[in-house]
Amino acid sequence: MGKGTKPGKVAISASLAAELQSHCYRLKIVEKDRIFPISRSQCFRIVCDAFDHAGVRRPTRAVDRVGAVHILRHSGAIERLRQTGNPKALQDQLRHKSAQMTLRYLKTISADESLKIQQSVELW
């Protein structure tokens, strides 16, 4: 489940898919069940602990305008856009209703990368 309790899909490698399938088989997890049944608060604690363990300052809404967990969404989106140059796929992954919302991520990458992507995209 993602933002707004909407179900989401993410791209993963074939090797990670195989590991997850094996995990589900071993634990007899069926399709309707969550693979990792954790709550929002547990997720928050896990992410905050990881920031602390890595010695990285935790983002805060007051300073960074985004929280520690949500910044992973933004960081992943920026990297996917940088790697693929495909804003439509990113829009689908992030479940943005408008292309304009997704194209805001262009300002976070280099000017050259942004221009290359803009030149190859037809606004949908």
Quick one: 62 exposed, middle or buried, by C-beta within 10 A (0-12, 13-18, 19+)? exposed
SS3 assignment, position 95 = coil
Q: What is the mean pLDDT of each run of 10 residues along the chain (124 residues)?
A: 69 91 95 86 92 92 85 85 84 86 80 76 58
pLDDT tens for 10-30 read 778 899 999 999 999 999 999
The distance from CA 87 to its chain's CA centroid, rounded to whole angstroms, is 14
Q: What is the DSSP annotation of 32-61?
A: TS-SS---HHHHHHHHHHHHHHHTPPPP-H
The whole-number pLDDT of residue 100 equals: 86
Using alpha carbons, select from 63, 110, 107, 116 the residue that is nearest to residue 85.
Answer: 116
pTM, two decimals, is: 0.62
